[in-house]
Amino acid sequence: MTDPIPTDPQHPAVAQHPTGGVPRWRLPPGETNTELLLAIAEFDTPFLLTASLSHGLGSSALTLDRGKAGPDLLATFRRAGDRVLLLVHNKHHRAAGDTAATRAGTEGFAGSVLWSGPIVREDGPAAVVDVTTLALTDLHGIADHLRERDQGDYTVDPATSLAHPTDASGGPHGIRLPALLTLRGRATGAAVRSLAPLPDTLTLVQRMELLPLPADPLPPRPYHPASGGYGVGHRDHGGPVPGAEVRFQPRFRLTEPVVFLVDPAVPEPIHSAVLEGGNWWQEAFDAAGLPGAFRVETAPEDLDLSDPAHHTVWWVHRDGRGWSHGQTLSDPRTGEILHGRVRLGSQRVAQLTALAEALLAPYGQPDEAARRAAVQDLVLRRIRHLAAHEIGHALGFMHNFASHHHPRPSVMDYPHPHLTVTPDGELDTTHAYSQGLGPWDHFLVAHAYGQTPGEELRRAAAAQGLLYLADEDASGPDAAHADAVPWTVPVADPFTALDQALEVRRTALARFSRSVLPPDRQTGELEDRALLLHLYHRHQLTAVARLVAGVRYGYAQAGDPGAAGATPVAAADQWRALRRTADLLHPSVLTLPPTVLHTLTPPAIRYRRDPDALRGQTGRTFDPLTAAAAATALVSTELLTPARLNRLAWQHATDPALPAPADVAGTLLGTLVPDPETDDGVARLVRTTATAVVQRQLHALLADERTHTVVREALRPHLDASPAHPDPDPTPLPWIPPGAPL
């Protein structure tokens, strides 16, 4: 791919930074073992300023992990008499052009003086500055992070915080200023109180990093919204249309191989799976005409994973269910990725193992060895995929939540285990997770790193039917695209995928027993395993429900060929989806089988339920009606949202063949009408419970200011105004235990 390269020497993508014949920064000897000195040879030269955590908090909910990189800032040192200022510049608003244009851009937007310190002495061409107080700055934003999550109001305590001069280091890749930060405050959040030995006093280790920008900037590659890459850039106030957005495709410079080094703390066989999955990307680089450009290896035992000279994969221990992450640090002038860092949460292995054991019930069976091998195989398949996925983010690639429609799914999708039931009633896990790259992953590498023109690649991808849809169009209550759903199986027809998931669920629940738990685990954990199966169909349900008021569209630029706009899903498919989703409110789906309920026992003494567990109302015992309410809420929270019903009202007005908002409420409530001929006592209880959940969701819609007035009026006739329920039920909506990440 050949892209235009700016030639104006004042353009931020071309400007060279002089070295002055000496290193930009260096660490001179300190006078004391607590004094951190920095010799600055260049002033007013931009660099990246960031901070990572080498010792974290250990909470999945708070994500202040070991290895987490903080915000990256564009900064300069400025000399002011006998002091030095550290200025942070606005990297999102700039101006290209001549000196006057760039000055106007700089002066038009405020910067920030982050720190100031005295010059200790002159050392040849360099000024030596005491940066001890800079190192003790909460640059990572730990205190703000905790405050925003209602965990407490903390500040750095200088009396118990300490810079680490002996651990500071410098080299061609920059300077690191490590410090032990102690934050004091009043702990108000459960996450902090459950983890810290003294919740009012939190001590973490921050490594502040000063990273030079390349003296020879990588020619920027323009970003295209259909590229699958992250678009990084700024608003250019110096062009013919001031304020126009300029975005670049993030990518590594390939003058040397890009090597990711895996934390040696990752145990086997997980370690080998991470190496194998990460190295799947080699195939795409080879196919793009870049053989040997990428590889994943094991880091040496003595490697400092925090060193920005290396791209790294960290093994992170945390409390509770959490995500893994792939991060990049890039040159704001060009989008060049300077550093890639991945954090793999170790608790993912436990989550996957629990799901696999719940499905396969291996323990105490005649074929226990084979079943346990299948459990491990499922886990390792997912870990390979996870490693490729997170490294893909660090290569500059976004999610693609529509790849289940591709001939082979992308590793940048969120995969659900694809199990099927064999003719003899066994669960087949052979194809639980796809192994290797899909055609979209090859496209990503070719578009970001190869030399084939991007327009040609995008045309070829479209001809292959390679849909691309990312986060905002796939996740959350505002997601509208019919084909963008995370955690669905690689089956293009969502109805087939849902039927398969329900068959797997029925099969696994039918043989549920203590065999789903290792023999040395307390039986209270059986509740968690049962719940995994009870809600197993949740993501395939979402894929079907997304068709109701669903639309289809694509990412493009105005000059691209093809039609723009959003097209509603056909009426027949919307009605089918509505009825199929409502079918999931039948008591046979909402209720766990008696054989499962008779197996469950409360947690043993000295054990407790997980915070994410079902929140029952029967005291110590498992609550079947709360489980039914949670399964009902899977349906009601998908369909009864303001955005979906607002869309549906307009769609129905333009095409009366499509369902109306009132049809959604009527279909759900109609499914829950008691059947006096077939309902037993349990079914009646479950229908009453499920009806109350749907009614509470309808009342919530009426109280939500985001619901259009016409939708509120259409739903009012379906609200329960019987003497038993004269007012909106004040009970909150049911808690749905989280189902992701898988």
Q: What is the pLDDT confidence band of residue 728, given thresholds at 50, 70 and 90?
A: low
- The more confidently predicted of residues 405 and 17 is 405
For the ranges 235-239, 502-506, 721-725, the lowest mean pLDDT is seen at 721-725
Q: What is the pLDDT confidence band of residue 23, given thresholds at 50, 70 and 90?
A: low
Helix pair angle (661-671, 642-654), 10° resolution = 120
Cβ density class 262-295: b for 16+ within 10 Å, e for less: bbeebeeebbebbbbbbbbbbebbeebebeebbb
Main-chain dihedrals φ then ψ at residue 245, nearest 5 degrees: -75, 135
Residue 612 has pLDDT above 90, yes or no: no
Q: Identify which of 442, 444, 455, 438 has the alpha carbon closest to the alpha carbon of residue 403.
A: 438
pLDDT reported for residue 392: 98
Q: What percent of the chain has pLDDT over 70?
A: 95
Residue 726 has pLDDT above 50, yes or no: no
pLDDT tens track for 171-229: 888 999 999 999 999 999 999 999 999 999 999 999 999 999 999 999 999 999 999 99
Q: What is the pLDDT confidence band of residue 20, given thresholds at 50, 70 and 90?
A: very low
CB distance 185 to 151 below 8 Å: no
Q: Identify which of 233, 256, 221 has the alpha carbon closest to the alpha carbon of residue 446.
A: 221
What residue type is assigned to position 228 of the chain? G
Residue 143 has pLDDT above 90, yes or no: yes
Q: What percent of the chain has pLDDT over 90?
A: 87
Structure tokens at 210: 């000063």
For the ranges 102-106, 262-266, 296-300, the lowest mean pLDDT is seen at 102-106
pLDDT tens track for 535-576: 999 999 999 999 999 999 999 999 998 878 999 999 999 999
Query: How many Å apart are CA 627 and CA 600, to the nearest integer?
Result: 13
* Mean pLDDT rounded to a whole number for the chain: 93
pLDDT reported for residue 17: 31
Residue 132 has pLDDT above 60, yes or no: yes
pLDDT reported for residue 719: 87
Cβ density class 192-227: b for 16+ within 10 Å, e for less: beebbeebeebbbbbbbbbbbbeeebbbbbbbbebb
Rounded mean pLDDT of 361-370?
A: 97
For the ranges 100-104, 308-312, 496-500, 568-572, the lowest mean pLDDT is seen at 100-104
Strands 169-171 and 152-156 come out as unpaired
Element (H, E) at 75: strand 73-80
Structure tokens at 624: 């079947």
CB distance 500 to 489 below 8 Å: yes
Structure tokens at 391: 């490294």
pLDDT reported for residue 419: 98
CB distance 404 to 489 below 8 Å: yes
pLDDT reported for residue 564: 84
Q: What is the pLDDT confidence band of residue 636, given thresholds at 50, 70 and 90?
A: very high
Q: Identify which of 84, 78, 174, 167 has the alpha carbon closest to the alpha carbon of residue 128.
A: 84
Residue 13 has pLDDT above 70, yes or no: no
